[in-house]
Every structure is written in C-alpha cells, then in structure tokens.
Amino acid sequence: MRIKTGLVLLVAIMAAGCARTLPSQQVLAVNPVQFSANEWRVPSQAVVIADASGTTYMARTFPHVKALTQSFVRAMPDGSSRAKVAGNYDATLIGFGGKERIVSPMAPFNRSALSGKADSLRILGDIHGFGGETPFRNVFVEVQQALRGKAGVAAVVIFSDGLADFEHAAMISAKSLVESHAGEVCFHTVHVGDDADGARFLKQVSALTSCGSARTMADVSNASSFMKFANAVFAGQAAAAKKPVDACAGRIVLRGVEFEFNKAEISGTSSVILDVAVDQLQRCPNIPMDIDGHTDAIGPEDYNMGLGQRRAEAVKSYLVSKGIRAGRLKARSFGESRPVATNDTDEGRQTNRRVELHPKQ
C-alpha cells in the first residue's frame, strides 16, 4: 500500500525553496484515427484523465502527461466516424490534482472543446504551486457520475505516474465504476515516470476488465506508436452493451459505501453508489433485501454492534427516501465480526466501516 501525504510534499517544498517552471514537451504530430473497411468505432463514451498532481511536478513528469493528453485529443476519431452504435460518441476530459479539477463536461465529442482543456492543463492542487495529492478514488467516482445513465462501451484513458493516495480505496472505487456502468468499461493506462509502484497500480486498474490495456510512456513515444495506441482504444468489432445488473439474479455489492469513524452519516460519494442500488432495486420491486451494517474493530464489541445497526438503518432510510418500499428492507448489524480488510491501518479500518445489501436468504 502506498499513501502520500501533504508532509512529503512539504518537505520537498522546503528543499526546493520555490516552485520551478517545468519545460514543455512537444505534442506529437498525429491525426484523427481513421477506420479501415473492416473496423468500427467501438466506444460510445471516451474519458481522458490527466494526472496533474504534486508527484508529477516533483518528478518533472507533468510536461509528458500534458503532451500525451494533447496528442490523444488530436488522435481521437471524428464524431462522424463509422461505428456500430450510430451517431457521435460522448467524451470528457478530467485534469486533477488534490481537490482542483480542469474538466470538459461529458458531451458529444467536440475536439475544439477538449483541446482547449488539454492545452490549459497545469499543476493542480493547493500546496503553493507544487500540486496536490493524487485522489484516484474521487476521480473514479466523478467518472461514474459522468457515465450515469449511459450505456455501451466506455473507454477510460489515463495518463499518470500511478502514485494514488490510498490504493485500496482507489481500486474499490474503480470496481464500483465497472459494476455500475450499463455497458463495458475499458481502462487504458499509460504510465509516465519510472516508479514501479505506480506502474503496478495502473496495471491493476487496466486488468479490472478484459478489454483494458497498460502501457508505458516509452510505448507511445513517437507518432507511429501513439497512433497504434489510439487505434487500439477506439477500433475493433463493436461489443454488445453489457446488460444492466439484474437485482433479481443475486447479491448487490455496494463497493465503497463507507462511514467516518464513529459515525452513521452517508457521505456524498456513497450516495452515488447507493443511487445505483436504487436503480437496480426499482427494476426488481418484489425481492426482499437484507441491509448489513459493519464497523471496524475500535471500541467495545457491543457498542460496535449498535453502530453497525445505525449504519444499516441510515442506508435503509436513504433507499426509502428514493422510493424503495420499506417493507422489503431489513436492517441488521454484524458489528466488527466480519472485516474485509485489516484493522491495523486507517485505510483498512475505513474499508471495514461499510454496509452491504443482498437478497434475503
């Protein structure tokens, strides 16, 4: 597990004295992907994610992230390109660092709009120009929100050093994105830099679905290799959209519904995940469900049993407020008895503070 903190960046700031200007990198001379007679545009959505966090500043890799992002926008196929799913495809660009974002909202592909955002990328975050942390967990939730209500194949292209804050939580968030989308999510990652931990994390994200891919900056270093990458993202036999998850078929796993220490309030990011469950439950209105509350291992066992019950009741209240019939929902608690992660770290304890929802046995 790798956790970055503001302290690490602060030490670097003190050592550097002041923020330095990073040299720019040349954008590759590429053209929009053209499909051959036996090729089709596969994605119905394209999400481009550019890591503009503090580690890309300190390692001087941000100029490469920006140039690769600009190159990819140039290489994206025209909206009128041949596709199994007729019409334009939707696209969004997200540059991130700490809590700051540069975003082109999800909309029918518009090269000019995306290029403008790519060109405006800079180090993002609130640590005096040195950039913020790398909250992939939040970014994946933002992508989930952008894709909500859409179907078909979603290509998620990531240019990053891969040094995520709280890797485990980021993976949970990425899995929730995959499970919530009414179609297939394909993660295509390009590792920028030489950190082995970052490369490993991006490979794990890419492997979440069979259609993903993982590359390094060296793999896309010239126009020819970059165009092969862009073609691999967009071209192929159009895949049939994955059917929405059927709540009648089995367990609904609410990955990422977590709580702060000693609290039962639902966070903003958890509400996004719960809204997916609402959609599933509405498609299967007659199946009774158990709502199981869980806690970490801090505090007395009896107290944690009560806290788990309050968390389960909070989720039940949320679902009822969204129109789910209260009579089909039963809230219960397992307290600290069923951990899914270690209770020896802050990250593990946060993961254990959760609620799960599944059909009654």
Neighbour tally for 274: CB within 10 Å:
18
The letter for the amino acid at 276 is V
Query: 268-359 has which CATH code?
Result: 3.30.1330.60
C-alpha to C-alpha distance for 242 and 257, rounded to whole angstroms: 24
C-alpha to C-alpha distance for 251 and 246, rounded to whole angstroms: 9
> How does pLDDT run along the chain (361 residues), one tens digit per residue?
444 433 344 344 434 445 557 788 899 999 999 988 778 888 999 999 999 999 999 899 999 999 999 999 999 999 887 765 556 899 999 999 999 999 999 999 999 999 999 999 999 987 565 678 999 999 999 999 999 999 889 999 999 999 999 899 999 999 999 999 988 999 999 999 999 999 999 999 999 998 999 999 999 999 999 999 999 999 985 444 444 445 455 555 555 566 666 766 776 566 767 777 787 788 777 788 888 888 889 999 999 999 989 988 988 998 999 999 999 999 999 999 988 888 888 877 877 888 887 777 6
Q: Where in the chain is the domain with CATH 3.40.50.410?
A: 39-236
| Record: fold of 39-236 | Rossmann fold (3.40.50)
Q: Where in the chain is the domain with CATH 3.30.1330.60?
A: 268-359
The residue among 102, 132, 134 whose CA lies nearest residue 116 is 102
Residues in the chain: 361
The residue among 233, 221, 234, 235 whose CA lies nearest residue 30 is 221
The letter for the amino acid at 104 is S
Confidence at residue 252, expressed as pLDDT on a 0 to 100 scale: 59
C-alpha to C-alpha distance for 312 and 329, rounded to whole angstroms: 10
The letter for the amino acid at 103 is V
Distances (CA, A) of 189 to 84, 131, 160, 185, 320: 25, 21, 8, 13, 39
